Amino acid sequence: MADNIVIIKDLIKKYSDFVAVDGINLEIQAGELFGLLGPNGAGKTTTISIISCLLKPASGDVFVGGYSVKKYPTKAKVLMGVVPQDIALYPTLTALENLNFWGRMYGLSGALLKERVEEALELAGLIERTKERVQNYSGGMKRRLNIAIGILHHPKVLLMDEPTVGIDPQSRNHILETVKRLNRAGTAIIYTSHYMEEVEILCDKVGIIDHGKIIAMGTADELKKLIGDEHAIIVQAENVDDDVIDALNQLRYVDCVNYHEDEIEVLSKHGGRVLSKVVSVLNQADVHINSIDIKEPNLEAVFLHLTGKSLRD
Amino acid sequence: MKKFVRIGLKDILITLRDAPALAILLGMPMIIILILGSALGSLGSDSEMARIDVAIVNLDEGDIGKEIVEGITEGEELEELFDTQVLDDAEEAREGLERGNLAALLVIPEDFSDKINDSKPVKMNVFIDPGKEISASIFQNVVQSIAIRIASASVAVQTAKDVFVESKMVADERDFSRHMDKVVKEITADDALSAVDVLESNIEKERKITELDFYGTGMTIMFLLFGSMFGAFSLVKEREEKTLSRLLITPTSKTSIIGGKMLGIFFVGVVQFLVLFLFTVILGVHWGENLFGVFLLALGVLLAMTGLSVLFSSVAKNVRSVGAIAPLVVIVMALAGGSLFPVSTMPEWLQPIRYLTINGWALDGLSSLMKGAGTNSILPNFGALMAMFFAFFLLGVWRLGYEE
């Protein structure tokens, strides 16, 4: 209990008849990197908003460093850094001006503020463009600055809500490296995402959330054991239509087919056996195949197993 | 430094980098005042609105009464100041005064000249409209000055007559009168001119408001109110761009956040006012001698404008709605409040509508200050502007709270 930096107890949040968070209980240890995985609308952002004192829960409570967010929000806020899903920066101010302003909002000043701003700029890889207005930055640079602001005051726990949405692979890698670095330095992190690869690579522990409920929790390996041996066949292809997807779905041993941006994902417990049938269906339909890959069981499959639907639905 | 001051300073910096905002807040009023000023400035000095309506009833049949009337109606400077009617019927003139058509009425009694020539006491009556005290007092001073001259001339004439008759320099009193008539004429004619001296010190008391003064101050107030649009933009953008949520998750109180935002809007208004004030002073706009009063009214306007920003941001859901609502409200207030044309040109029943606007209270106070009024006389105006600030602010905060 003493090692838990965040404790979530029976948390409920409702919007009229819609229950966004439905009785969540969680404990996150100091220095832990916890992943909250779920599709859009599962309740990830609402949970983060309640922890960060932006929304009030209908019932239940969250304790950050022992402080209830309902009773002592200011004390809890000092211990938390938040990287919101939306880029929240002043576009006509420079990176340096943004960092100085937000640092002051966390009570930093003088030499300490200067030191922390430099450290954050270095971490975000923006040291050479500090005096440029943020409106001229690329999406990836803005995301990195968005993160840098969240860590200025060296929080004990960092809440990161989908920090890699809509950016180029290079910036994504930079951000994932940053998350690992911060965690190694001792910061506990709650990382939400609907990209299961990120959560799988980064997180010590993963909670799978759907319809406002945590439906499974454990390490990635523990979770994957829930489904046994589900493999994913990933096909990069062109000229794919709904008939092709239907045909794939009807193949024996195929559990599920997802199609998104020229990428077909076929989930099956018998990867090797299904592969040749998949190729044959695609060839008959005159689909142009660019690449094929078989992946080991992953969290996507776990999610599918638990909910009957894809993370991207 | 307190967090709310940091928030305010951040907003000033953002506004200073916003070229369209600067163009509307500073560029547009400067150009409009410059154009209106150069187009209308030359008309200012001979404005009809500054002439004071007076009447003279001359019941005297002698020369002195006639000279007084001519002195007032034909003297160049006096003609410029007074719109003088010469009437025969004293009763009719009194009625005119009571109806408010006149600021003052002079009645020169019968036998006025004869009595002066005979060195008997004599009185001229000046009736005034208490509602037009300042205008009336100017006329009163002119008449008084003429009376003093006549009295001193009369004493001089009497003394001279005694000396001349006794020393046999003239044949008799009739002969003396013939000679002295000329002298008296000159003295009374001169009265009118010397009265102008008295007059000029009075003109300072109620200075004429020129078109340049009117548009310089009117436009400044109107464009200060456009600040409320950018203030509301700033508040709504903070919400739209999610920086408000981010501020709320820092250990900064809601009071500091709203206080800081309002401070920023107010600061920008102060900078805007100082720039426009200096610009109009350089152009020759006369804001009056009481600068403290002017700044007090400006403070009231800027606070009311800040309150209006909060109200706009609570009514409009996004930047586009603010851009639609705010200019409409500001222009309607400018029309009703007298920023675009004098309220006196509106039908009388419609004129009180100006008291529902920020412009109305501000310009009413400013025009009093231009005419030489003291700070006390504009305190009700300042009070009304403060009341508007609180009303707009509380209504805005209540609406924002209701939405949450």
Non-local (6+) Cβ contacts of A310 within 8 A are A39, A256, A258, A300, A303, A304
Strands B104-108 and B52-58: parallel
Task: Kindly tell me the burial class for residue B40, based on how many C-beta atoms sit within 10 Å of its own C-beta (0-12, 13-18, 19 or more).
Answer: middle
Domains of chain A: 4-224 (3.40.50.300), 229-296 (3.30.70.980)
Alpha carbon distances (Å) from A122 to A126, A140, A144, A152: 6, 15, 10, 12
Are B13 and A89 an interchain contact pair (Cβ–Cβ within 8 Å)? no
The Cβ of residue B377 has, within 10 Å, a number of other Cβ atoms equal to 15
* For residue A158, pLDDT beyond 80: yes
CB contact (8 A) between residue B3 and residue A84: no
Return d(Cα A225, Cα B48) in angstroms, integer. 97
For residues B145 and A34, the model is more confident at A34
- Its sign, for the CA torsion B199, B200, B205, B207, is positive
Of A54, A78, A92, nearest to B245 by CB-CB distance is A54
Residue of B341, B351, B363 whose CA lies nearest to B221: B363
The sheet with strand A67-68 has its strands ordered as A18-29, A4-15, A59-64, A67-68
CA A102 to chain centre: 23
Contact flag A80-B249 (C-beta cutoff 8 Å): yes
Give the pair of three-digit tokens for residue A78: 């000092």
Q: Quick one: pLDDT band at residue A152, thresholds 50, 70, 90?
A: very high
Pick from A36, A37, A29, A64: which is nearest to A301 by CA?
A37
**What is the band of B47 on the pLDDT scale with cuts at 50, 70, 90?**
very low
Cα–Cα distance list, B52 to A123, B31, B67, B136, B201 (Å): 77, 34, 21, 8, 16
Tokens of A157: 């726990």
- The pLDDT, as a whole number, for residue A111 is 96
Cβ atoms of B140 and B82 closer than 8 Å: no
Residue bearing the bigger pLDDT, A148 or B210: A148
> What whole-number distance in Å separates Cα of residue B93 and Cα of residue B103?
11
Report strand pairing: A67-68 vs A59-64: antiparallel
- Kindly determine whether residue B249 and residue A97, on different chains, have CB atoms separated by under 8 Å: no
The band of B334, judged by pLDDT with boundaries at 50, 70 and 90, is very high
B394 or B47, greater pLDDT = B394
By C-alpha distance, the chain A residue nearest B9 is A101
Contact A105 B17 (CB under 8 A): no
pLDDT for B189: 54
What the block records as the tokens of B31 is 């150009």
Judge residue A179's burial from the number of C-beta atoms within 10 Å of its C-beta, 0-12 exposed, 13-18 middle, 19 or more buried: buried
Residue B18 and residue A92: Cβ atoms within 8 Å?
Answer: yes
The pLDDT, as a whole number, for residue A136 is: 95
> What's the rounded Cα separation, in Å, for the pair A175 and A184?
14
- Give yes or no for residue B188 having a pLDDT over 60: no
Cα B145 from chain centroid? 27
Residue B314 near residue B403 (C-beta atoms within 8 A): yes
Q: Where are the domains of chain B?
A: 3-44+208-403, 48-205
A87 in contact with B, Cβ within 8 Å? yes
Residue type, B37: G
Q: Which two tokens stand for residue B66?
A: 């006639």
Q: Is pLDDT at B207 greater than 80 in this prediction?
A: no
The closest of A232, A238, A239, A240 to A310, measured between CA atoms, is A232
CA distance B228 to B226: 5
Tokens 């690992």 appear where? A180
In the prediction, which pLDDT does A273 show? 83
In which residue are the tokens 């009645």 written? B107
Q: What is the pLDDT of residue A313?
A: 54
Whether A165 has its CB under 8 Å from any CB of chain B: the answer is no
Q: Is B16 on the interface with A (CB under 8 A)?
A: no
Query: Which residue on chain B is closest to A75 by alpha carbon?
Result: B251
Residues B311 and B229 sit within 8 Å (Cβ to Cβ): no
Instruction: List all residues 6 or more positions away from B83 whose beta carbon is below 8 Å from its beta carbon.
Output: B51, B52, B53, B54
Choosing among A45, A53, A75, A104, which should be mutated to test the B contact, i.e. which has the most B CBs within 10 A?
A104
**What does pLDDT average to over chain B?**
83
Mean pLDDT calculated for residue range B22-32: 92
Q: Tell whether A77 lies on the interface with B, counting CB pairs under 8 A.
A: yes
Q: Give the model's confidence band at A17: pLDDT under 50 very low, under 70 low, under 90 confident, else very high.
A: confident
- pLDDT category of residue A104 using cuts at 50, 70 and 90: very high
pLDDT: is A22 or B180 the higher one? A22
B3 touches chain A (CB under 8 A): yes
pLDDT band for position B205 (cuts 50, 70, 90): very low
Q: Which of B10, B245, B248 lies at the smallest CB-CB distance from A101? A: B10
Q: Do A54 and B3 touch (CB under 8 A)?
A: no
Task: Decide if pLDDT at B46 tops 70.
Answer: no
For residues B2-31, give the mean pLDDT. 93
Check the CA dihedral B302-B306-B307-B312 and report its sign.
Answer: positive
Average pLDDT on B144-155 reads 77
**Count of CB pairs separated by less than 8 Å, A with B:** 58
The CA distance from A307 to A312, in Å, is 12
Give B17's contacts in chain A (Cβ within 8 Å).
Answer: 92
Q: In whole angstroms, what is the distance from residue A120 CA to residue A149 CA?
A: 7
| β pairing state of A205-210 and A33-37 | parallel
pLDDT at B182 (0 to 100): 63
Please give the residue of chain A at the shortest CA–CA distance from B4: A105
| Of residues A49, A31, A156, A170, the one with CA closest to residue A106 | A156
Question: What mean pLDDT is predicted for residues A165-192?
Answer: 90
Record: contact B6-A93, CB cut-off 8 A: no
* Conformation bin of residue B136: beta by default, left when phi > 0, alpha when psi is -120 to 50: alpha
Q: Copy the structure tokens of residue A139.
A: 């999406």
- Per-residue pLDDT reduced to its tens digit, B89-113: 888 888 888 887 888 888 888 888 8
d(CA B168, CA B147): 31
Chain B contact present for A197, CB below 8 A:
no
Give the mean pLDDT of A142-156.
93
| Amino acid at position A221, single letter | D
DSSP B306-343: HHHHHHHHHH-SSHHHHHHHHHHHHHHHHHHHTSSS-G
Above 80 in pLDDT, residue B351? yes
What is B48-205's CATH number, 3.40.50, 3.10.20, 3.40.1710, 3.30.460? Answer: 3.40.1710
pLDDT of residue B191: 47
Question: Among A93, A106, A149, whose Cβ lies nearest the Cβ of B251?
Answer: A106
Per-residue pLDDT at B185: 61
Sort out which chain A residues have CB atoms less than 8 A from B13's CB and list them. Answer: 93, 97
Q: Cβ separation of B249 and A82 shorter than 8 Å?
A: yes
Q: Which residue has the higher pLDDT, B185 or B161?
A: B161
Question: Which of B299, B310, B273, B290 lies closest to B358 in space, CA to CA?
Answer: B299
> What's the token pair of residue A5?
């930096």
- Are A5 and A188 contacting, i.e. CB atoms less than 8 angstroms apart? yes
In terms of phi and psi (left: phi > 0; alpha: psi -120 to 50; beta: otherwise), the region of B395 is alpha
* Three-class DSSP category at B106: strand
Lowest-confidence segment of A37-51, B33-47, B220-234 by average pLDDT: B33-47
Amino acid at B347: P
pLDDT at A290 over 70: yes
From B251's Cα to the closest Cα of chain A, the distance in A is: 5
CA distance readout (Å), B69 to B17, B87, B244? 65, 11, 74
Q: B196 pLDDT exceeds 80? A: no
Show the 3-state SS of chain A: CCCEEEEEEEEEEEECCEEEEEEEEEEEECCCEEEEECCCCCCHHHHHHHHCCCCCCCEEEEEECCEECCCCHHHHHHHEEEECCCCCCCCCCEHHHHHHHHHHHCCCCHHHHHHHHHHHHHHHCCHHHCCCEHHHCCHHHHHHHHHHHHHCCCCCEEEEECCCCCCCHHHHHHHHHHHHHHHHCCCEEEEEECCHHHHHHHCCEEEEEECCEEEEEECHHHHHHCCCCCEEEEEEEECCCHHHHHHHHCCCCEEEEEEECCEEEEEECCHHHHHHHHHHHHHHCCCEEEEEEEECCCHHHHHHHHHCCCCCC
Interface of B with A in 195-254 (CB under 8 A): 241-243, 245-253
Tokens of residue B166, six digits:
């006794």
Predicted pLDDT of residue A306: 81
Say what the pLDDT of residue B43 is: 37
Distance of CA B208 to the CA centre of its chain: 8
